[in-house]
Structure 1
Amino acid sequence: MLKKLSSLGLRSAQDLLFYFPFRYDDFSHIVPINQLQSESRVTVRGRLQLIAHKRGSFQRRLITEAMLADNTGQLRAVWFNQPYIAKVLQVGDKLSLAGKVELSRFGLQMVNPTFEKVKVDGVSVHTGRLVPIYPTTAGVTQKQLRFLISKALLAASQCEEWLSQDIIRVNNFSTLPVALQEIHFPSGGVKSDHARERFQFEELFLIQLKNELARREWRGCSALPVIFQEKETKDFVAGLGFTMTDDQRRSAWEILKDMSGNQPMNRLLNGDVGSGKTVVALTAIYNTTLNHFQSAWLAPTEILAQQHFATACSLFDGRGVRVGLLTGSVAKINDKENEDCPKKKFLSEAVAGKIDLVIGTHALIGDKVHFSNLALAIVDEQHRFGVEQRRLLRVKSANGSVPHFLSMTATPIPRSYSLALFGDLDLSLIKQMPVGRRKIITRLV
C-alpha cells in the first residue's frame, strides 16, 4: 500500500492534506426508502436485515445481496465480486448506503453502492454528504483515500498559516485548518465557498509570485542590444511584395523596441494560422543580422522547419543573410545552392558566427550545437516544447549573454495565456489577417 500511495505522491500526512479532490459526488440527500425514485442518486439509512453471497450463473460472478430496512420500507442492495462485504457486515448493523437507485425485476435496488456503518456521533465520510473523489491508482480505493485523509485532517491545526491575517480578514478567507477540512469534506454554504476561494487565491498568488521572480531574474541577465536599423528595415518591408497589416507592424515594433535594450526580451507573439507571424519574426531576425549577431529558430517538426527555411531563403534573397537548416537528418546552408552540408562543417560555422540564422528542430538544442553571438532565440508553437528544452536554447551563446526570446503560437492554450497574463511573457497579438489571404481549411484524416 505504501508503494502505491507513493506513486500518487503521498508520502506524508501533509501530502494527504494537500491532495485535493477533483470532483464531488452529491449524496447529501438522505431519503426514506418509500420515497426513492429510479435513477436518483441518494443516501439511504437503515438496519441490515439480510446479508448473503452466492455465485451467479452469468460469468460465474460472486454476488453479495443485502436487504436494508428503515421505518418506511425495504431496499435491496447488490455488490458484484466483492465477497468481503458479507464478512464485514452483519445483520442488525445500522448502515448508510449511497449510490444510484435502479429499477429491477425485484423492484428498486442499488448496485455496488458505497456503504459505511453509521457512527454514534452520526458523522459520515463516504455517504450522506458531498463525497470527495480523488485521483487514484490500481490498488488504492476511494474509501481508503478518504479514510486516510480524514485521519490526516486531525493534525491540520499543526499546519503553518502562511497568509497574513490581513489578507484572510479582508477577503473573508477561511483559516488554513478550516479550509483544508472544507475542501475535503465540504459542509456546504458560505463556509465551503470561503475555503474554495482561499485555495483559488493561493494558486493565483503563487503563480504571480513565481513569474515575478522569474521576470526579475530574467531582467538581471544581460543581452546583446539589437539596434533598430530603420532604413534597411523599411527597404526589407517594401520588398516583401505585400503590405503588412497594422497588427503586424505594431507587433514588429514592440519586438524591435524590446530587443534594443541590454535586458533580454521575453515576448509571446500570438496570431492565428495565416496571420503573418513569420514575417514579423523575419523582420526581427533581419535586424539581428544587420547588427552582426546570430538568430536561432526552433520548430516542432521537420516539415515546419523546412517551410521556415524556404520562406527565409526567399525573403532574404540578395540581402546577404546566411540561413542554415539543421534537423536530425539534414544540415544545409542557403548559399550552397541548398545542398546538404556536412554536419561537422555546419556546426563549426555556427559556432564561428558564420551562419546568421539557424532554423532547426530538436537537433538545434543538442549538446554539440553552439553559437558565437546568439542574440535572438525563437520558439515556434512553444507549448510543443518543455521548459527545459526552451531553457537549453537560451544558453547556447558562447559569449555568455542571454538571447532575446520570442515565443510564437497559433494555439492560445491556457499555459501560454497564463504566462502572458501573469507577467512572465509580454504579449503581442496579431488579430488582423493580411488582405487576400485565403481561408484556412482544417481537415481531420
Structure 2
Amino acid sequence: MTAFVTTDTVLGEVLDAGLAERINTAFGHRTVGDLLHTLPRRYRQHGQRYDKRELVEGERVTIIGTVTTSTTRNYTTKQGQSREMLTLTVEDEDTTFKVVYFAGRKIKFMLPVGTVAMFDGTVSRFRQSLDLTHPEFLVLHSVSGPGRELKGSGDLAALARLSAEIDAEGGPSLFDRPLLPIYSASKSVTSWDLLGAVVTAIRALVPVVDPLDDTVLAAGGLMGLDEALRKAHLPETVKDADRAGYRLRFDEAIALQLLLGARRRAVARDPAPASPVRPDGVRAAMEARMPFELTAGQTAVLEEISTDLALDEPMNRLLQGEVGSGKTIVALLAMLQVVDAGRQCVMLAPTEVLATQHHRSLTAMLGDLGERGRLGAADEATRVVLLTGSMSTAERRAALLDIVTGEAGIVVGTHALIQDSVDFFDLGLVVVDEQHRFGVRQRDRLRAKGRDGTVPHLLVMTATPIPRTIAMTVFGDLEVSELDELPGGRRPISTSVVPARDKPRWVQRVWERVREEVEAGHRAYIVCARIDADTGDAPGGTSGGDDDRGSDRPPLVAAVDLYEYLSTGPLAGLRLGLMHGRLPPEEKESTMSAFAAGDLDVLVSTTVIEVGVDVPEATVMVVMDADRFGVSQLHQLRGRVGRGGLPGLCLLVTNAREGGKSMERLGAVAATTDGFVLAQLDLVQRREGDVLGDAQSGALASLRLLSVVDDGEVIEIARRHAEEILDSDPGLDQHPALAERVRRLSGSDESDYLFKY
C-alpha cells in the first residue's frame, strides 16, 4: 500500500487488488475520492429497532441481536454426508429473527445462548417468521465476557481483523461506534467490503485540501472537506452525518453552478444580432390584426424576450408554461421582431408531426403576412418554410434555396435543420420546442450557424413545467420565464378515471360518450400505449406500479387492434383514423390533416400527438392503459382538447387496482389541471432522469449525491456563491481545486473553452 494517499490515488494502490477491481466493476469507483464520495445508504444505531413492515423479502439486512435459543438437528445430504443444522433465535430489540446454518457444527460453539452478535444476510419470510439463512456473523460480546478476540465469518471476519488493528493503535472499535454505516451492496461487493475499503482509505488519507475559501465556509456554516469526508462515513452523531452529507452535496452543487455560470458568460462573450422592435414591421402588422388580446402574462414574457432580442448579447431564455398557455403566439411575435431586423428564425421541433403542425399553425396565424413572394402577399410579408428529413429531393432543394438566400424568414423543422448541409443566410433566433427532447449539443450545433461570428439568440420552450429551482439546475445557463395562466376562451378540462378492471361497463360508457361528442359536431382522440401486439409498453411512460404486477393483468390495448374493434363495433358509422410512429410520414401527415379539417371524427393514435397538435374542435381525450404513462405525459395529452372555447373531457382508462400506487397517481392527475403541481409530483414519484430526459447534460448525469428534486435550497445557496466567485475570478485562476472539479464535470475540452479569457 502506498504511504501517501490522496483522493486521486487509485484504489488498487490502497486496497487489495481483487477488492479494488470488484469495487470498480460494481460501482465505477476508480480512486479514493470516488469511494469516499459514495455515502452510506443509512446508519445502523446501537439499539435501533427494525420495523417489520419495512423489511423487504430478498433485501440484505444487518442486525445486532442476542442469541436467545439454540437447537441442532442432524441430517444427511444427498451426497450421503452427515451434517448438523443449527437454528438460532436472535432478538434485535423487539424484532425476532430465525437464523439457520446448515453446516453449524463449529458455529454452535461460537454462538451459544447469550452471545451478542452481528448478522448480515438476506431476509426471507416463512409464515410470520423472519429468516436469515447462513448469514455472515461477528461475535461482539461473548458469554465468556469481553476481551476475547472478535470471531466471525466471511467479510465480517475480515472486518474484525481490521477493527483489531485499530484497537491495537488505540482507536475505537468499529463495532462499538454509535453509528455503523450501511452501504448499498452488489452481488460481488458487500456493505462490509465497502466499509473495510472506506476505513482503510480514511486511515491512509492525508489531510484533504479544501477547494472553498474560508469566507464561503463561514458564510454557509459548512464543515471542512477533510472532516466531511471522514465523518460522512464514521460519524459520532446523526448531526455529524447530516452536516458532512450537506457539505459534500454542496460541493457538487457549486461545481455544477460554476459550470453553468461559465457557460452563460462564455455565450455572452460572443456578439449577437441586435434586433430591436420596429413600429412599422411585420410584427406590428401581426399585432394589429390579432383577433384576441394577449394575457398579462404573455405581455410580460414578450417584453422580457423583446428586451433581450434588442441587445447585442445573445439571449438564452427558457419559456415554460402550462399546456395551452399561449407560448406559440409569444414565440411567433418574437420571431417576427427578428425578421423585421432582416434576419431569419428557426423553430426546431422534436418530431415531424409536431414540426408540420407548427408550420401549419404559423402559416394560418400569419395569413398573407406569411406569403412573401406570392400573389396577394402583404407588403411586410415574410415566408415560412418547412424542412424535414422525409421531404422529397425536389421539396428539400427548394426549401434549402429559400433558406440560404434569405427568402425564408421563418424555418420550421426537425433534426434535419442541424445537419451541416443546411446553411442560413443570416440566422438571428433559434426557438427550440420541447427542450427535454433535445440534448445540449444539438441545441448548440444550431447556434453555431450564425453569420459573421455572431451567435443567434436562443428561446427554449417547454410545456412540461419544471419547478424553478430545478429549472435553475437543469437549464442553469438559461434565464427562466413562466406563463402560468390560460388565454381567454380556454375552458376547463374535466378529467375522470375509468377503472376498467372493476367496472367494465364504464368502458362502454366511454365509447357512448365519444359518440355523443361527435354527434354534437366535435372530435375525439383515443390514445394507446402501444401500436400492435408486437410492441411493448408506452414510450416514455411507466410500467405501472408495483401493485399492478401479476399474470391476471390484461395485455395492453394496441392502437391497431382498438381501431379495428371500434370501427366495426361501438363507433361503427363514425369516421375513424389511425396514426402511429411506424406509418410513412406522408400518411401520418394526411391523417392528421384529415382530422384537423374535419374529415375524420375520431383519431386512434399512439403518443405521437402528445405535444403541439392543435385541433380546436377536439373535445374528448381517451387514454387507454393510462397507468402506463407518466403524470406529465398524461397532462400533455389532456392539453390536446378544450382548445377551441369548448369544454374538454379527458377519460383515463386503466386496469390498475383500486388503492394501488398507479390508481393514486391517476387520481392526482384527475384532481388538478395545474401542470406545476403535477410536475413536482412526477419528479417525486419517478426517477429524475426519466422526467428531465435529455435536458440532463453529461454533467448532471455525473452527479453522485446531489438531487435536483430534493436539494433546491443547497443549489440556490451554491449558485449565489458561484456567481460571486466567477465575478471576482472568471477564469478560476485563484481557485485551482474548484477549476479541477468543473473540468471533471464538463470534460477538459469544454473547460478549456469556458475559462479561456
Q: TM-score by structure 2 length?
A: 0.49
Q: How far is 1:179 from its partner?
A: 0.9
- Separation of aligned partners in 2, 1:288 and 1:108: 70
Q: 1:389 to 1:141 in 2, by over 3 A?
A: farther
Equivalent runs, 1:343-358 vs 2, <5 Å: 343-358=396-411
Asked if the contact 2:177–2:236 (Cα under 8 Å) also holds between the matched residues in 1, the reply is: no
Alignment counterpart, residue 321 of structure 1, candidates 376, 382, 396:
382
Deviations 1:402-425 (A, max 9, x none): 100001111123688433798622
Q: Does structure 1 residue 192 correspond to structure 2 residue 241?
A: yes
Q: How far is 1:301 from its partner?
A: 1.8
Asked if the contact 1:114–1:126 (Cα under 8 Å) also holds between the matched residues in 2, the reply is: no
Asked if the contact 1:40–1:100 (Cα under 8 Å) also holds between the matched residues in 2, the reply is: no
Q: Name 2:88's counterpart in structure 1.
A: 67
- Larger mean CA deviation between 44-53 and 211-220 belongs to 44-53
Q: 1:37 to 1:7 in 2, by over 3 A?
A: closer
- Larger mean CA deviation between 281-290 and 95-104 belongs to 95-104
Q: Name 2:326's counterpart in structure 1.
A: 276
Q: Name 1:216's counterpart in structure 2.
A: 265
Q: Name 2:517's counterpart in structure 1.
A: none
- Separation of aligned partners in 2, 1:127 and 1:102: 28
Secondary structure at 1:76 match in 2: strand
Corresponding letter in the other structure for 2:340: L
Q: 1:342 to 1:231 in 2, by over 3 A?
A: closer
Asked if the contact 1:49–1:91 (Cα under 8 Å) also holds between the matched residues in 2, the reply is: no
Secondary structure at 2:317 match in 1: strand
Corresponding letter in the other structure for 2:354: L
Equivalent runs, 1:39-118 vs 2, <5 Å: 43-46=63-66, 66-67=87-88, 76-78=98-100, 91-92=109-110, 95-97=117-119, 109-110=131-132, 115-116=137-138, 118=140
Q: Name 2:591's counterpart in structure 1.
A: none
- 5+ residue gaps, structure 1: 58-62, 332-339
Asked if the contact 2:26–2:189 (Cα under 8 Å) also holds between the matched residues in 1, the reply is: no
Alignment counterpart, residue 28 of structure 1, candidates 38, 41, 45:
45
Q: 1:353 to 1:113 in 2, by over 3 A?
A: farther
Secondary structure at 2:339 match in 1: helix
Q: Does structure 1 residue 140 correspond to structure 2 residue 189?
A: yes
- Separation of aligned partners in 1, 2:261 and 2:477: 7
Q: How far is 1:76 from its partner?
A: 3.2
Equivalent runs, 1:26-425 vs 2, <5 Å: 26-30=43-47, 43-46=63-66, 66-67=87-88, 76-78=98-100, 91-92=109-110, 95-97=117-119, 109-110=131-132, 115-116=137-138, 118=140, 119=160, 121=167, 123-124=173-174, 129=179, 131-134=181-184, 139-232=188-281, 233-319=283-369, 320-330=381-391, 341-413=394-466, 417-419=470-472, 424-425=477-478
Corresponding letter in the other structure for 1:139: S
Secondary structure at 1:342 match in 2: helix
- Separation of aligned partners in 1, 2:105 and 2:389: 62
Q: How far is 1:398 from its partner?
A: 4.4
Asked if the contact 1:36–1:101 (Cα under 8 Å) also holds between the matched residues in 2, the reply is: no
Asked if the contact 1:75–1:108 (Cα under 8 Å) also holds between the matched residues in 2, the reply is: yes
- Separation of aligned partners in 1, 2:338 and 2:475: 28
- Larger mean CA deviation between 348-357 and 118-127 belongs to 118-127
- Larger mean CA deviation between 284-293 and 345-354 belongs to 345-354
Corresponding letter in the other structure for 2:44: F
Secondary structure at 1:231 match in 2: coil
Asked if the contact 1:371–1:396 (Cα under 8 Å) also holds between the matched residues in 2, the reply is: yes
Q: How far is 1:344 from its partner?
A: 3.3
Q: How far is 1:147 from its partner?
A: 2.8
- Separation of aligned partners in 1, 2:485 and 2:290: 18
Structure with greater strand share of residues? 1
Q: 1:262 to 1:199 in 2, by over 3 A?
A: same
Secondary structure at 1:397 match in 2: coil
Asked if the contact 2:89–2:97 (Cα under 8 Å) also holds between the matched residues in 1, the reply is: yes
Corresponding letter in the other structure for 1:211: L
Q: Name 1:19's counterpart in structure 2.
A: 38
Q: How far is 1:290 from its partner?
A: 1.6
Q: How far is 1:87 from its partner?
A: 11
Q: Name 1:60's counterpart in structure 2.
A: none
Deviations 1:252-310 (A, max 9, x none): 11111101111100111111010000000000111111211111111122221111111
- Separation of aligned partners in 2, 1:302 and 1:65: 67
Deviations 1:6-44 (A, max 9, x none): 4633112221112234x32x532437xxx9996687732
- Separation of aligned partners in 2, 1:68 and 1:395: 70
Q: 1:351 to 1:3 in 2, by over 3 A?
A: farther
- Larger mean CA deviation between 386-395 and 87-96 belongs to 87-96
Corresponding letter in the other structure for 2:388: T
- Separation of aligned partners in 2, 1:248 and 1:55: 81
Asked if the contact 2:22–2:188 (Cα under 8 Å) also holds between the matched residues in 1, the reply is: no
Structure with greater helix share of residues? 2
- Separation of aligned partners in 2, 1:419 and 1:307: 30
Deviations 1:216-241 (A, max 9, x none): 11111111111211333333123222
Asked if the contact 1:132–1:185 (Cα under 8 Å) also holds between the matched residues in 2, the reply is: no
Asked if the contact 1:39–1:101 (Cα under 8 Å) also holds between the matched residues in 2, the reply is: no
Q: How far is 1:437 from its partner?
A: 1.1
Q: How far is 1:330 from its partner?
A: 2.9
CA root-mean-square deviation: 4.1
Q: How far is 1:345 from its partner?
A: 3.6
Secondary structure at 2:45 match in 1: coil
- Separation of aligned partners in 1, 2:259 and 2:479: 15
- Separation of aligned partners in 1, 2:77 and 2:284: 83
Deviations 1:188-231 (A, max 9, x none): 33322321232233233223322221121111111111121133
- 5+ residue gaps, structure 2: 1-17, 56-61, 79-83, 141-159, 370-380, 496-620, 625-757
Q: How far is 1:98 from its partner?
A: 5.5
Secondary structure at 1:428 match in 2: strand
Asked if the contact 1:168–1:175 (Cα under 8 Å) also holds between the matched residues in 2, the reply is: yes
- Separation of aligned partners in 1, 2:362 and 2:128: 75
Asked if the contact 1:299–1:379 (Cα under 8 Å) also holds between the matched residues in 2, the reply is: yes
Q: TM-score by structure 1 length?
A: 0.80
- Separation of aligned partners in 2, 1:76 and 1:220: 68
Q: 1:196 to 1:3 in 2, by over 3 A?
A: closer
Q: 1:298 to 1:145 in 2, by over 3 A?
A: farther
Asked if the contact 1:221–1:402 (Cα under 8 Å) also holds between the matched residues in 2, the reply is: yes
Q: Name 2:148's counterpart in structure 1.
A: none
Corresponding letter in the other structure for 1:323: V
Corresponding letter in the other structure for 2:64: V
- Separation of aligned partners in 2, 1:294 and 1:394: 12
- Separation of aligned partners in 2, 1:411 and 1:348: 35
Q: 1:348 to 1:130 in 2, by over 3 A?
A: farther
